[in-house]
Chain A
Amino acid sequence: MTANDQRDDRGVRCRDLVLPRYVSAAGVHPPLDTPAYQSSRLRAPGQPLVPLPQQLTEITGPLLGPERVTAADADLTAGHSGEPLGERIIVSGRVLDSDGRPVPDTLIEIWQANASGRYAHQVDDHPAPLDPNFTGAGRCVTDSLGRYQFVTIKPGAYPWRNHYNAWRPAHIHFSLFGRAFTQRLVTQMYFPADPLFALDPIFNSIPGPQARSRLIATFDIELTQPDWALGYNWDIVLRGRTATVFETEAR
Protein backbone atom coordinates (compact mmCIF):
# COMPACT_ATOMS: atom_id res chain seq x y z
CA MET A 1 0.00 0.00 0.00
CA THR A 2 1.61 3.21 -1.09
CA ALA A 3 0.20 6.59 -0.23
CA ASN A 4 0.09 8.87 -3.21
CA ASP A 5 1.74 12.18 -2.66
CA GLN A 6 2.18 13.43 -6.17
CA ARG A 7 1.68 16.90 -7.48
CA ASP A 8 1.64 18.07 -11.01
CA ASP A 9 2.85 21.57 -11.88
CA ARG A 10 -0.54 23.02 -10.98
CA GLY A 11 -0.54 21.57 -7.49
CA VAL A 12 -2.89 18.61 -7.75
CA ARG A 13 -2.57 16.78 -4.46
CA CYS A 14 -3.38 13.08 -4.52
CA ARG A 15 -2.38 11.98 -1.05
CA ASP A 16 -4.70 9.38 0.47
CA LEU A 17 -7.48 9.98 -2.01
CA VAL A 18 -10.06 7.21 -1.62
CA LEU A 19 -13.29 7.41 -3.56
CA PRO A 20 -16.57 5.54 -3.15
CA ARG A 21 -17.72 3.37 -6.01
CA TYR A 22 -21.30 2.95 -7.24
CA VAL A 23 -22.77 -0.39 -8.27
CA SER A 24 -23.19 -1.15 -11.94
CA ALA A 25 -26.52 -0.51 -13.63
CA ALA A 26 -25.75 -3.12 -16.30
CA GLY A 27 -28.83 -4.83 -17.63
CA VAL A 28 -31.27 -2.54 -15.81
CA HIS A 29 -31.85 0.28 -18.28
CA PRO A 30 -33.32 -0.15 -21.76
CA PRO A 31 -30.85 -0.67 -24.61
CA LEU A 32 -30.39 2.63 -26.44
CA ASP A 33 -30.84 0.77 -29.70
CA THR A 34 -34.48 -0.31 -29.50
CA PRO A 35 -35.80 -0.23 -33.08
CA ALA A 36 -39.43 -0.76 -32.02
CA TYR A 37 -39.17 2.78 -30.62
CA GLN A 38 -38.93 4.68 -33.90
CA SER A 39 -37.38 7.83 -32.47
CA SER A 40 -34.33 5.83 -31.34
CA ARG A 41 -33.37 4.91 -34.90
CA LEU A 42 -31.55 8.12 -35.79
CA ARG A 43 -30.61 9.08 -32.25
CA ALA A 44 -29.20 5.99 -30.53
CA PRO A 45 -25.40 5.91 -30.79
CA GLY A 46 -24.08 3.26 -33.15
CA GLN A 47 -20.69 2.80 -31.50
CA PRO A 48 -20.30 0.80 -28.30
CA LEU A 49 -20.13 2.83 -25.07
CA VAL A 50 -16.62 3.35 -23.69
CA PRO A 51 -16.17 2.39 -20.00
CA LEU A 52 -15.68 5.49 -17.83
CA PRO A 53 -13.94 4.92 -14.50
CA GLN A 54 -15.70 6.48 -11.51
CA GLN A 55 -13.38 9.30 -10.51
CA LEU A 56 -14.04 12.56 -8.67
CA THR A 57 -16.35 14.03 -11.31
CA GLU A 58 -18.51 10.91 -11.39
CA ILE A 59 -18.81 10.24 -7.64
CA THR A 60 -19.82 13.83 -6.90
CA GLY A 61 -22.85 15.66 -8.23
CA PRO A 62 -24.97 18.76 -7.77
CA LEU A 63 -26.63 18.87 -4.35
CA LEU A 64 -29.50 21.06 -5.45
CA GLY A 65 -32.59 21.27 -3.39
CA PRO A 66 -34.41 23.57 -1.04
CA GLU A 67 -33.27 26.80 -2.68
CA ARG A 68 -34.94 25.76 -5.94
CA VAL A 69 -38.29 24.65 -4.50
CA THR A 70 -41.29 26.06 -2.64
CA ALA A 71 -43.89 23.91 -0.88
CA ALA A 72 -46.47 24.90 -3.51
CA ASP A 73 -44.36 23.31 -6.27
CA ALA A 74 -45.38 19.82 -5.09
CA ASP A 75 -49.08 20.51 -5.74
CA LEU A 76 -49.77 20.46 -9.50
CA THR A 77 -53.47 21.14 -8.88
CA ALA A 78 -52.68 24.55 -7.36
CA GLY A 79 -51.37 27.79 -8.79
CA HIS A 80 -54.14 28.39 -11.32
CA SER A 81 -57.43 30.26 -11.04
CA GLY A 82 -59.45 27.07 -10.64
CA GLU A 83 -59.23 23.33 -10.04
CA PRO A 84 -58.02 21.16 -12.91
CA LEU A 85 -60.36 18.52 -14.30
CA GLY A 86 -59.72 14.86 -13.67
CA GLU A 87 -59.03 12.37 -10.93
CA ARG A 88 -57.09 14.01 -8.08
CA ILE A 89 -54.27 11.78 -6.85
CA ILE A 90 -51.47 11.75 -4.29
CA VAL A 91 -48.20 10.23 -5.49
CA SER A 92 -45.81 9.45 -2.67
CA GLY A 93 -42.84 7.24 -1.96
CA ARG A 94 -39.20 7.13 -1.03
CA VAL A 95 -35.98 7.58 -2.91
CA LEU A 96 -33.56 4.86 -1.83
CA ASP A 97 -30.26 3.51 -2.97
CA SER A 98 -29.81 -0.12 -3.86
CA ASP A 99 -28.75 -0.93 -0.30
CA GLY A 100 -32.04 0.46 0.96
CA ARG A 101 -30.54 3.65 2.36
CA PRO A 102 -32.72 6.75 1.98
CA VAL A 103 -31.51 9.46 -0.40
CA PRO A 104 -32.33 12.67 1.51
CA ASP A 105 -32.51 16.29 0.33
CA THR A 106 -32.53 15.44 -3.36
CA LEU A 107 -34.44 17.34 -6.02
CA ILE A 108 -37.25 15.56 -7.89
CA GLU A 109 -38.84 17.16 -10.95
CA ILE A 110 -41.96 15.79 -12.64
CA TRP A 111 -44.02 16.61 -15.72
CA GLN A 112 -47.08 15.02 -17.27
CA ALA A 113 -50.12 15.25 -19.54
CA ASN A 114 -53.47 16.45 -18.23
CA ALA A 115 -56.47 14.20 -17.51
CA SER A 116 -57.37 14.16 -21.21
CA GLY A 117 -53.93 12.99 -22.28
CA ARG A 118 -52.83 16.39 -23.61
CA TYR A 119 -49.55 18.09 -22.73
CA ALA A 120 -49.42 21.86 -22.28
CA HIS A 121 -46.78 22.03 -25.01
CA GLN A 122 -47.00 23.60 -28.48
CA VAL A 123 -45.72 20.44 -30.18
CA ASP A 124 -48.58 18.31 -28.79
CA ASP A 125 -51.35 18.33 -31.41
CA HIS A 126 -53.46 15.54 -29.91
CA PRO A 127 -57.05 16.78 -30.40
CA ALA A 128 -57.92 16.53 -26.72
CA PRO A 129 -58.67 19.60 -24.62
CA LEU A 130 -56.05 21.65 -22.83
CA ASP A 131 -56.97 22.45 -19.24
CA PRO A 132 -56.43 26.12 -18.35
CA ASN A 133 -56.01 25.02 -14.74
CA PHE A 134 -53.26 22.49 -15.35
CA THR A 135 -49.71 23.02 -16.53
CA GLY A 136 -48.34 19.63 -15.48
CA ALA A 137 -44.96 20.47 -13.93
CA GLY A 138 -43.96 19.96 -10.30
CA ARG A 139 -40.89 19.64 -8.08
CA CYS A 140 -39.99 18.81 -4.54
CA VAL A 141 -37.03 17.79 -2.38
CA THR A 142 -36.93 14.53 -0.46
CA ASP A 143 -36.97 14.80 3.34
CA SER A 144 -34.36 13.35 5.70
CA LEU A 145 -35.86 9.87 5.21
CA GLY A 146 -35.86 10.14 1.42
CA ARG A 147 -39.63 10.66 1.25
CA TYR A 148 -41.44 12.73 -1.36
CA GLN A 149 -45.07 13.55 -2.09
CA PHE A 150 -46.92 15.20 -4.95
CA VAL A 151 -50.60 16.10 -5.40
CA THR A 152 -51.69 16.02 -9.03
CA ILE A 153 -54.24 14.74 -11.53
CA LYS A 154 -54.11 11.27 -13.00
CA PRO A 155 -52.78 11.79 -16.54
CA GLY A 156 -54.66 10.35 -19.49
CA ALA A 157 -53.32 7.94 -22.08
CA TYR A 158 -52.51 9.59 -25.40
CA PRO A 159 -51.89 8.60 -29.00
CA TRP A 160 -48.49 8.95 -30.68
CA ARG A 161 -47.26 8.15 -34.14
CA ASN A 162 -44.75 5.42 -33.42
CA HIS A 163 -46.91 2.84 -35.23
CA TYR A 164 -50.53 2.39 -36.30
CA ASN A 165 -52.93 3.02 -33.40
CA ALA A 166 -50.09 3.59 -30.94
CA TRP A 167 -51.08 4.85 -27.46
CA ARG A 168 -48.84 5.56 -24.50
CA PRO A 169 -49.96 4.13 -21.15
CA ALA A 170 -50.68 6.88 -18.63
CA HIS A 171 -47.45 8.01 -16.99
CA ILE A 172 -45.70 10.76 -15.05
CA HIS A 173 -42.12 11.72 -16.02
CA PHE A 174 -39.68 11.80 -13.08
CA SER A 175 -36.20 13.36 -12.99
CA LEU A 176 -33.84 12.63 -10.07
CA PHE A 177 -30.33 13.73 -9.20
CA GLY A 178 -29.41 11.56 -6.23
CA ARG A 179 -26.10 12.68 -4.73
CA ALA A 180 -23.66 11.74 -7.48
CA PHE A 181 -23.37 12.00 -11.26
CA THR A 182 -23.59 8.19 -11.33
CA GLN A 183 -27.07 8.35 -9.76
CA ARG A 184 -28.73 10.74 -12.22
CA LEU A 185 -31.97 9.20 -13.50
CA VAL A 186 -34.88 10.25 -15.69
CA THR A 187 -37.74 7.78 -15.89
CA GLN A 188 -41.52 7.39 -16.01
CA MET A 189 -43.99 6.19 -13.38
CA TYR A 190 -46.93 4.13 -14.60
CA PHE A 191 -50.29 3.17 -13.04
CA PRO A 192 -51.39 -0.34 -12.07
CA ALA A 193 -53.03 -2.72 -14.55
CA ASP A 194 -52.82 -0.44 -17.59
CA PRO A 195 -54.11 -2.38 -20.62
CA LEU A 196 -51.59 -0.56 -22.84
CA PHE A 197 -48.50 -2.03 -21.14
CA ALA A 198 -48.21 -5.00 -23.48
CA LEU A 199 -48.41 -2.75 -26.55
CA ASP A 200 -45.99 0.02 -25.55
CA PRO A 201 -42.46 -0.18 -27.01
CA ILE A 202 -41.08 2.34 -24.49
CA PHE A 203 -42.28 0.40 -21.44
CA ASN A 204 -41.22 -2.89 -23.04
CA SER A 205 -37.77 -1.57 -23.89
CA ILE A 206 -36.81 -2.38 -20.30
CA PRO A 207 -35.22 -5.84 -20.13
CA GLY A 208 -37.36 -8.22 -18.11
CA PRO A 209 -40.77 -8.11 -16.43
CA GLN A 210 -39.34 -7.66 -12.96
CA ALA A 211 -37.49 -4.46 -13.87
CA ARG A 212 -40.55 -3.20 -15.78
CA SER A 213 -42.73 -3.79 -12.72
CA ARG A 214 -40.53 -1.39 -10.75
CA LEU A 215 -41.97 1.50 -12.77
CA ILE A 216 -45.57 0.71 -11.79
CA ALA A 217 -46.98 2.52 -8.76
CA THR A 218 -49.14 0.68 -6.23
CA PHE A 219 -52.59 1.85 -5.25
CA ASP A 220 -52.43 2.60 -1.51
CA ILE A 221 -55.62 2.90 0.56
CA GLU A 222 -53.58 4.16 3.53
CA LEU A 223 -52.31 7.05 1.43
CA THR A 224 -55.77 7.68 -0.04
CA GLN A 225 -57.55 10.60 1.63
CA PRO A 226 -61.29 10.18 2.26
CA ASP A 227 -63.53 12.34 0.08
CA TRP A 228 -60.50 13.92 -1.57
CA ALA A 229 -57.84 11.94 -3.48
CA LEU A 230 -56.61 8.45 -4.37
CA GLY A 231 -53.12 7.51 -3.22
CA TYR A 232 -50.39 5.85 -5.26
CA ASN A 233 -47.13 4.71 -3.76
CA TRP A 234 -43.92 4.51 -5.77
CA ASP A 235 -40.38 4.04 -4.49
CA ILE A 236 -37.41 4.92 -6.67
CA VAL A 237 -34.11 3.05 -6.30
CA LEU A 238 -30.84 4.70 -7.39
CA ARG A 239 -27.43 3.06 -7.64
CA GLY A 240 -25.89 2.49 -4.20
CA ARG A 241 -22.28 2.18 -3.21
CA THR A 242 -20.28 -0.96 -3.25
CA ALA A 243 -18.38 -2.00 -0.12
CA THR A 244 -15.60 0.33 0.97
CA VAL A 245 -12.85 0.50 -1.58
CA PHE A 246 -9.47 0.19 0.08
CA GLU A 247 -6.55 2.10 -1.21
CA THR A 248 -4.78 -0.97 -2.56
CA GLU A 249 -7.64 -1.64 -4.93
CA ALA A 250 -8.69 1.92 -5.63
CA ARG A 251 -8.07 1.87 -9.33
Chain B
Amino acid sequence: MNHGGQMSHGGQLNHGGLMSRGLTPSQTVGPFLAIGLPWADGPFVVSPDTPGSIVIEGRVLDGAGQPVPDALVETWQADPDGRFDHPDDPRGPAREAGSFRGFGRSETNPDGSYRIVTLRPGPLPCPGGETEAPHVDVSFFARGLLDRVVTRIYFPDEAEANAADPVLASIADPGRKATLIAADEADGRLRFDIRLQGDGETVFFDV
Protein backbone atom coordinates (compact mmCIF):
# COMPACT_ATOMS: atom_id res chain seq x y z
CA MET B 1 0.00 0.00 0.00
CA ASN B 2 1.17 3.46 -0.77
CA HIS B 3 0.60 5.89 2.05
CA GLY B 4 2.99 8.44 0.58
CA GLY B 5 0.46 11.24 0.31
CA GLN B 6 -0.47 11.01 3.96
CA MET B 7 3.10 10.42 5.06
CA SER B 8 4.01 13.84 3.73
CA HIS B 9 1.99 15.30 6.61
CA GLY B 10 4.40 13.80 9.07
CA GLY B 11 2.33 10.77 10.03
CA GLN B 12 3.45 7.19 10.31
CA LEU B 13 1.69 3.87 10.44
CA ASN B 14 1.08 2.50 13.90
CA HIS B 15 0.84 -1.13 14.94
CA GLY B 16 -2.82 -1.30 13.95
CA GLY B 17 -2.13 -0.05 10.41
CA LEU B 18 -3.87 3.25 11.11
CA MET B 19 -2.25 6.56 10.32
CA SER B 20 -0.64 7.96 13.41
CA ARG B 21 -0.81 11.75 13.37
CA GLY B 22 1.34 14.21 15.24
CA LEU B 23 -0.45 15.85 18.16
CA THR B 24 -1.34 19.53 18.09
CA PRO B 25 0.91 21.34 20.58
CA SER B 26 -0.45 23.51 23.38
CA GLN B 27 -0.05 27.29 23.62
CA THR B 28 -0.82 29.70 26.44
CA VAL B 29 -4.32 31.11 26.95
CA GLY B 30 -2.63 34.53 27.09
CA PRO B 31 -3.88 37.53 29.06
CA PHE B 32 -7.24 37.90 27.30
CA LEU B 33 -8.86 34.53 27.95
CA ALA B 34 -11.77 36.37 29.59
CA ILE B 35 -13.04 37.22 26.09
CA GLY B 36 -13.65 33.61 25.21
CA LEU B 37 -13.72 31.23 28.14
CA PRO B 38 -15.80 32.33 31.15
CA TRP B 39 -19.37 31.02 31.38
CA ALA B 40 -22.04 32.60 33.55
CA ASP B 41 -22.93 29.11 34.86
CA GLY B 42 -19.31 27.92 34.85
CA PRO B 43 -18.78 27.64 38.63
CA PHE B 44 -21.95 25.61 39.11
CA VAL B 45 -21.28 21.91 38.75
CA VAL B 46 -24.67 21.67 40.39
CA SER B 47 -27.29 24.28 41.11
CA PRO B 48 -26.42 25.94 44.45
CA ASP B 49 -29.81 24.94 45.88
CA THR B 50 -28.97 21.24 45.42
CA PRO B 51 -29.08 19.41 48.77
CA GLY B 52 -25.54 18.64 49.91
CA SER B 53 -23.86 21.16 47.60
CA ILE B 54 -20.47 22.40 48.75
CA VAL B 55 -18.26 25.35 47.85
CA ILE B 56 -14.61 24.86 46.96
CA GLU B 57 -12.74 28.14 46.77
CA GLY B 58 -9.21 29.43 46.93
CA ARG B 59 -6.60 31.76 45.55
CA VAL B 60 -3.98 31.25 42.91
CA LEU B 61 -0.55 32.72 43.69
CA ASP B 62 2.62 33.03 41.62
CA GLY B 63 6.23 32.45 42.66
CA ALA B 64 6.39 35.91 44.26
CA GLY B 65 3.20 35.29 46.25
CA GLN B 66 1.23 37.63 44.01
CA PRO B 67 -2.33 36.77 42.94
CA VAL B 68 -2.85 35.41 39.44
CA PRO B 69 -5.85 37.33 38.08
CA ASP B 70 -5.78 36.23 34.43
CA ALA B 71 -6.38 32.52 34.74
CA LEU B 72 -8.96 29.77 34.57
CA VAL B 73 -9.62 26.92 37.00
CA GLU B 74 -11.50 23.93 35.59
CA THR B 75 -12.70 20.95 37.62
CA TRP B 76 -13.81 17.44 36.62
CA GLN B 77 -15.03 14.82 39.05
CA ALA B 78 -17.21 11.81 39.76
CA ASP B 79 -20.67 12.18 41.25
CA PRO B 80 -21.35 11.30 44.92
CA ASP B 81 -21.70 7.64 43.91
CA GLY B 82 -18.28 7.66 42.26
CA ARG B 83 -19.69 7.50 38.74
CA PHE B 84 -19.32 9.45 35.52
CA ASP B 85 -21.95 10.22 32.92
CA HIS B 86 -19.60 9.07 30.15
CA PRO B 87 -19.52 6.04 27.82
CA ASP B 88 -16.12 4.94 29.12
CA ASP B 89 -17.41 4.51 32.66
CA PRO B 90 -18.81 0.99 32.22
CA ARG B 91 -20.97 1.39 35.33
CA GLY B 92 -22.88 4.38 33.89
CA PRO B 93 -24.26 7.39 35.73
CA ALA B 94 -26.15 6.81 38.93
CA ARG B 95 -27.81 10.19 39.15
CA GLU B 96 -30.70 11.73 37.32
CA ALA B 97 -29.57 12.95 33.90
CA GLY B 98 -28.70 16.63 33.75
CA SER B 99 -28.62 17.21 37.50
CA PHE B 100 -24.86 16.95 37.82
CA ARG B 101 -22.48 18.32 35.17
CA GLY B 102 -19.29 17.00 36.75
CA PHE B 103 -17.46 19.94 35.20
CA GLY B 104 -16.79 23.35 36.71
CA ARG B 105 -15.07 26.42 35.32
CA SER B 106 -14.13 29.58 37.19
CA GLU B 107 -12.00 32.43 35.94
CA THR B 108 -9.86 34.02 38.64
CA ASN B 109 -10.71 37.44 40.06
CA PRO B 110 -8.31 40.39 40.50
CA ASP B 111 -7.33 38.94 43.90
CA GLY B 112 -6.57 35.55 42.31
CA SER B 113 -9.64 33.90 43.82
CA TYR B 114 -11.90 31.30 42.24
CA ARG B 115 -15.01 29.44 43.40
CA ILE B 116 -16.76 26.20 42.41
CA VAL B 117 -20.13 24.90 43.66
CA THR B 118 -20.38 21.14 43.49
CA LEU B 119 -21.19 17.88 45.28
CA ARG B 120 -18.66 15.73 47.05
CA PRO B 121 -17.41 13.01 44.72
CA GLY B 122 -17.47 9.35 45.78
CA PRO B 123 -14.46 7.05 45.91
CA LEU B 124 -13.42 5.37 42.65
CA PRO B 125 -12.41 1.83 41.75
CA CYS B 126 -9.19 1.21 39.81
CA PRO B 127 -8.64 -1.70 37.42
CA GLY B 128 -5.88 -2.96 39.71
CA GLY B 129 -8.33 -3.40 42.56
CA GLU B 130 -7.22 -0.36 44.53
CA THR B 131 -9.60 2.43 45.46
CA GLU B 132 -8.94 6.09 44.80
CA ALA B 133 -10.03 8.47 47.54
CA PRO B 134 -12.67 11.06 46.59
CA HIS B 135 -10.98 13.70 44.49
CA VAL B 136 -11.53 16.45 41.93
CA ASP B 137 -9.20 16.77 38.93
CA VAL B 138 -8.16 20.34 38.12
CA SER B 139 -6.89 21.85 34.88
CA PHE B 140 -5.38 25.28 35.39
CA PHE B 141 -4.70 27.72 32.56
CA ALA B 142 -3.03 31.14 32.76
CA ARG B 143 -0.99 33.71 30.95
CA GLY B 144 2.57 32.53 31.46
CA LEU B 145 1.67 28.83 31.28
CA LEU B 146 2.43 27.37 27.85
CA ASP B 147 0.41 24.26 28.70
CA ARG B 148 -2.28 23.62 31.29
CA VAL B 149 -1.10 22.34 34.64
CA VAL B 150 -3.05 19.54 36.30
CA THR B 151 -3.60 19.00 40.00
CA ARG B 152 -6.08 17.18 42.26
CA ILE B 153 -8.21 18.31 45.18
CA TYR B 154 -8.63 15.76 48.00
CA PHE B 155 -10.84 16.16 51.06
CA PRO B 156 -9.59 16.82 54.61
CA ASP B 157 -12.08 14.55 56.39
CA GLU B 158 -11.15 11.46 54.34
CA ALA B 159 -7.97 10.58 56.23
CA GLU B 160 -8.43 6.84 55.90
CA ALA B 161 -9.31 6.93 52.19
CA ASN B 162 -6.52 9.43 51.51
CA ALA B 163 -4.02 7.16 53.26
CA ALA B 164 -4.99 4.32 50.89
CA ASP B 165 -5.06 6.45 47.75
CA PRO B 166 -2.46 5.26 45.20
CA VAL B 167 -1.81 8.73 43.79
CA LEU B 168 -1.22 10.35 47.18
CA ALA B 169 0.91 7.33 48.10
CA SER B 170 3.17 8.05 45.12
CA ILE B 171 4.20 11.37 46.71
CA ALA B 172 6.73 10.67 49.45
CA ASP B 173 7.16 14.15 50.93
CA PRO B 174 4.33 14.82 53.44
CA GLY B 175 4.59 18.56 52.87
CA ARG B 176 4.12 18.14 49.13
CA LYS B 177 1.28 15.67 49.65
CA ALA B 178 -0.48 18.17 51.92
CA THR B 179 -0.73 20.68 49.05
CA LEU B 180 -3.35 18.39 47.46
CA ILE B 181 -5.70 18.31 50.44
CA ALA B 182 -8.27 21.07 50.79
CA ALA B 183 -8.73 22.81 54.14
CA ASP B 184 -11.96 23.15 56.07
CA GLU B 185 -13.16 26.70 56.45
CA ALA B 186 -15.83 28.20 58.63
CA ASP B 187 -19.38 27.62 57.38
CA GLY B 188 -18.48 24.35 55.67
CA ARG B 189 -16.59 25.76 52.73
CA LEU B 190 -13.44 24.08 51.51
CA ARG B 191 -10.33 26.04 50.68
CA PHE B 192 -7.86 24.90 48.03
CA ASP B 193 -5.14 27.43 47.16
CA ILE B 194 -2.91 26.88 44.17
CA ARG B 195 0.71 27.99 44.51
CA LEU B 196 2.33 27.82 41.10
CA GLN B 197 5.94 28.12 42.21
CA GLY B 198 8.20 28.37 45.23
CA ASP B 199 7.34 27.83 48.91
CA GLY B 200 4.40 25.48 49.30
CA GLU B 201 4.27 24.85 45.56
CA THR B 202 1.24 22.73 44.70
CA VAL B 203 1.92 19.26 43.32
CA PHE B 204 1.24 19.22 39.59
CA PHE B 205 0.78 16.07 37.56
CA ASP B 206 1.79 14.73 34.19
CA VAL B 207 -1.35 12.97 32.97
Tell me if A144 counts as interface (CB < 8 A to partner B): no
Question: What residues make up the interface of A, taking CB atoms closer than 8 Å to B?
Answer: 4, 6, 8, 10, 12-14, 16-20, 23, 25, 28-32, 34, 37, 39-47, 49-64, 68, 96, 98-101, 109-111, 113, 119-121, 123-124, 135-138, 171, 173, 175, 179-182, 184-188, 202-203, 205-206, 210-215, 236-239, 243, 247, 250-251
Flag B1-40 by CB within 8 Å of A: 1 or 0 each. Answer: 0000000001100111011111111111111111111010
The residues of A that contact B129 with a CB separation of less than 8 Å are: 4, 6, 14
Contact A10:B20 (CB < 8 A) given known A39-B144, A58-B137: no
Contact A202:B27 (CB < 8 A) given known A29-B147, A64-B103: yes
The residues of B that contact A30 with a CB separation of less than 8 Å are: 25-27, 146-147
7 more CB-based (< 8 A) A-B contacts, given A56-B78, A98-B22 = A49-B206, A52-B207, A54-B207, A60-B86, A62-B76, A99-B14, A205-B27
Contact A57:B127 (CB < 8 A) given known A44-B196, A186-B26: no
A202 to chain B, nearest CB (A): 6
Flag B44-66 by CB within 8 Å of A: 1 or 0 each. Answer: 00000000000000000011101
Flag B134-174 by CB within 8 Å of A: 1 or 0 each. Answer: 01010101111111111010000000000000110011000
Contact A59:B197 (CB < 8 A) given known A52-B205, A137-B35: no
Docked CA distance A137–B34 (Å): 10
- Which single member of A45, A61, A120 contacts B201 (CB below 8 Å)? A45
Flag B160-190 by CB within 8 Å of A: 1 or 0 each. Answer: 0000001100110000100000000000000
B37 and A100 form a contact (CB under 8 A): no
A57 and B166 form a contact (CB under 8 A): no
B43 to chain A, nearest CB (A): 14
A103 to chain B, nearest CB (A): 11
Contact A109:B37 (CB < 8 A) given known A62-B102, A215-B27: yes
A-B pairs, 7 with minimum CB distance? A111-B36, A39-B144, A43-B144, A62-B103, A52-B205, A30-B146, A250-B127
Contact A212:B25 (CB < 8 A) given known A98-B20, A136-B35: yes
The residues of A that contact B145 with a CB separation of less than 8 Å are: 32, 40, 43-44
B27 and A251 form a contact (CB under 8 A): no
